[in-house]
Amino acid sequence: MNSSKTIGIIGGGQLGQMMAIAAIYMGHKVVTLDPTIDCPASRVSEMIVAPYNDVKALRELAERCDVLTYEFENVDADGLDQVIKPDQLPQGTELLRISQNRIFEKDFLSNRVGVRVAPYKVIKSPEDLDELDFSKNYVLKTATGGYDGHGQVVIRGKKDLASARDLASQSECVLEEFIHFELEISVIISGNGRDVTVFPVQENIHRNNILSKTIVPARISQKLAEKAKRMAIKIAERLQLSGSLCVEMFATADDILVNEIAPRPHNSGHYSIEACDFSQFDTHILGILGQELPTVHLHASAVMLNVLGQHIQKAQEFVRSHPSAHLHLYGKTETKHNRKMGHVTLFSDAPDEVVEFGKGIDF
Ligand code: AMP
């Protein structure tokens, strides 16, 4: 029996590239759909060059591949539904729709799964922001299309109301209570439609709303770490998850709240390539193919640093003086400020001593 499959990936950025590399190690072939001919995944896969929502191109991808997956959640779910064969997209389009819209996502998490999220209210028009209780702070987020802090307004009093109303006049929003968390954490979990396997809890440090550093294991109590993992398992089981999913959470002094889910491998899980015996990309590929999933072990404490466009030189200097650090560069042809160009993973028991490349740089 030939167990080699052709896997179609929608999106050829770094996540698509690292998924493709994992798939190739396992003997599969990869075809990627991306509008950019020399995108990172083009180095390791065949390409269909077209916009992500081009139904003709999606159909070609579906015809050429046994199984489809995606590297980001803003994929045209309706377009996919038109072209996929039964069981060809094990992650399903429901999960896409949930994670594309914060209103559906909050409802799913709090009502259908029953995990704790920040208290929230759906905002359909600017008038829904009248009579806010200003003894509390809030974060207003657009229901769709927001990323890395875009499409968000933090409300710390009446002074922020005008910009909040402005955002609410453009689209439906979710108004969340501001959580005074101690740490931001995330958990990667992978499923094969039947069982799940869960990665260690990751601690995430953001700068300018972009992930800067991930520390594993997260510096939280064993009790909270177990709780975070149980919440991720509950979500994955409710979804009958296939592939990898990242659950982003806030850790307060004594509890965990879920912030959002990303139905794919995630930047905060990149450390797993070297620091775990199976990476989030390996388990993603195994999971979407419905294969048995391994229990994942962390070899040692690790730190991952993101390399943005403005950090490339610093990162190269860093690996010269830390030759046991692993530098990944995604092969993007254009270097831009704040663009994720690569990452560095190193084993370290002293994460505070591993200084982020962006620290101290005001950008
Ligand atoms: P998000 O797009 O939901 O991931 O939010 C981007 C960032 O905003 C998060 O990583 C947090 O640092 C911050 N944030 C989001 N929601 C809240 C909240 N309810 N309370 C406090 N900070 C938040």
Cβ atoms of 90 and 242 within 8 Å: the answer is: yes
Q: Is 343 helix (H, G, I), strand (E, B) or coil?
A: strand
Ligand 1 centre from 271 Cα, in Å? Answer: 22
Residue 362 has pLDDT above 60, yes or no: no
Residue 150 has pLDDT above 90, yes or no: no
In tens, the pLDDT along 180-223 reads 999 999 999 999 999 999 999 999 999 999 999 999 999 999 99
Cβ atoms of 34 and 11 within 8 Å: the answer is: yes
Which amino acid residue places its CA nearest to atom 16 of ligand 1? 139
Tokens of 214: 């991930």
Q: Which of ligand 1's atoms lies nearest the C-alpha of 259? A: 3
Model-wide pTM > 0.85: yes
Does 139 sit in the ligand 1 pocket, CB within 6 Å? Answer: yes
In tens, the pLDDT along 193-205 reads 999 999 999 999 9
Ligand 1 centre from 27 Cα, in Å? Answer: 39
Cβ atoms of 237 and 196 within 8 Å: the answer is: yes
Ligand 1 centre from 179 Cα, in Å? Answer: 8
Does 176 sit in the ligand 1 pocket, CB within 6 Å? Answer: yes
Does 259 sit in the ligand 1 pocket, CB within 6 Å? Answer: yes
Does 206 sit in the ligand 1 pocket, CB within 6 Å? Answer: yes
> What is the three-state SS of 288-310?
HCCCCCCCCCECCCEEEEEEEHH
**Average pLDDT of span 231-245:** 98
Residue 360 is predicted with a pLDDT of 63
In tens, the pLDDT along 16-37 reads 999 999 999 999 999 999 999 9
Residue 363 has pLDDT above 50, yes or no: no
Q: Which of ligand 1's atoms lies nearest the C-alpha of 177? A: 19
Ligand 1 centre from 139 Cα, in Å? Answer: 7
